[in-house]
Structure 1
């Protein structure tokens, strides 16, 4: 993951960009928010200033909408996420809180209903454009096959490995852990080594 972070940081800090405007740091911040919340890309791009609590002892973000991009239609913010369970308040790890603070500082004065991530014209970012930009930046660094959804899966695996599947499902906004297991958690072939100690106790050989 740090290789991806480094590639994006290098691209964002490069002094010369042959085409287009100089990067504004949003791509790196978007990745940090995805890693710190497990949110879908559409949910991240739908975060408003009012959804962010960065001053409390435990900073948090409320995920309460998603970005809709349909062919031939203007991209817009939908006032609810994919499912009712997907509306949630997520405590932020330090790296995400720091990225959000930097983004807010760079954005300057921001109304409560303004999007945390937006185009230079103040309009919502299309999810397809963010995917395309991520692919372009990482491709330039020789990194292929990375998608926004990969970050969501990576978070689910980390939470499951260090806590349990129930917590991973709650963080992802799933109503059923079966969804989490089927689509996000790869079954490990390694059986819990505690079985060895258990069987030693059950079937230990008598000492001669």
Structure 2
């Protein structure tokens, strides 16, 4: 009787098409269909989940039934994958947890094996940020290219320099910068500002469009901008052919949204010509976060970047200086100075 009780499914409802003996690929197909029916994920996230489960998880678990997938097997799989790449292991953990979670909700599996696997440990890394000299070197390279002095590559459209200045003056993501409308800009008041209200999205097989909200809810914000950004925005506004408030500040010659990949390629091309390496649009967010942290602290840096938790800013965006603030020497001098 004990053997029969162990073998039978005490959790299997009559309405479910899945059983403990169902192949894992059947669960994956059911899970992906369930996600699509829920319609809660963005058009970008759903294909990402599907690709991750197809490329990372199914090659290892595709031949197994659900009852054969336990904590030990999942734990070993993630540890082996983490040896190759922490990011790949992290992505595999997410989709494996979600898929097996569906089996738990349908009472096919009693616990989720992923609830008990070992924690993944991220390798230590230091966020890279540009120095003031490096920022100016990039500016000079872009200005040289936009002036038409470089004979290599496509003809400049004179937007790249302004895009960089806006990233540097707002900390906005590249997609958020490309989604700015003239209605989001105030460069006439004593404190010029830009409101971040959307982002550019590119889905496979669909035209690039402007999404009417940024990456997260807190990412919708109004940012006071420095003079170099305000001047770049004024010059760009003066060049716009479409003067409507809902036009895009940065756009193609036809007025359509620029893709983030196009801007990345253009920036990489220009900097390759100048012999500058390792500069991406996202490094400007780290550069801004590092500068604000050094002058005003991490709380303000996190607020400027639109982060809900300063821990994210510290871990991924701020380049820590090895130099401790010299004021400690003065404090120790007062505390332990030798008596004369």
TM-score (norm 2): 0.58
User: Which residue matches 1:179?
Assistant: 312
User: Which residue matches 1:129?
Assistant: 262
Shift of 1:17: 4.9
Shift of 1:133: 0.6
Q: How does 1:1-208 map to 2 (within 5 A)?
A: 1-14=135-148, 17=151, 20=154, 22-207=155-340
- Inter-CA distance 2–19: structure 2 relative to 1 (3 Å threshold): closer
Q: What is the CA deviation profile of residues 124-172 of structure 1, one whole-angstrom value per residue up to 9, with x for unaligned ones?
A: 0000110001001110111111100011111111111122111111111
SS in 2 for 1:77: strand
Asked if the contact 2:286/2:319 (under 8 Å) is kept, the reply is no
Moved over 6 A (4+): none
Matched residues in 2 for 1:98 and 1:151: separation?
Answer: 18
TM-score (norm 1): 0.93
User: Which residue matches 2:81?
Assistant: none
SS in 1 for 2:145: helix
Higher helix share: 2
Matched residues in 2 for 1:2 and 1:92: separation?
Answer: 18
- Inter-CA distance 189–16: structure 2 relative to 1 (3 Å threshold): closer
Bigger mean CA deviation after superposition, 196-205 or 169-178:
196-205
SS in 2 for 1:123: coil
- Inter-CA distance 172–16: structure 2 relative to 1 (3 Å threshold): closer
Please list every run of 5 or more consecutive structure 2 residues that lacks an aligned counterpart in the other structure.
Answer: 1-134
Matched residues in 2 for 1:161 and 1:19: separation?
Answer: 38
Q: What is the CA deviation profile of residues 70-118 of structure 1, one whole-angstrom value per residue up to 9, with x for unaligned ones?
A: 2222111110001111000011110000000000101144111111000
Bigger mean CA deviation after superposition, 94-103 or 155-164:
155-164
Shift of 1:34: 0.3
- Inter-CA distance 129–17: structure 2 relative to 1 (3 Å threshold): same
SS in 1 for 2:308: coil
Shift of 1:198: 2.1
Shift of 1:15: 5.8
Matched residues in 2 for 1:72 and 1:103: separation?
Answer: 31
SS in 2 for 1:182: helix
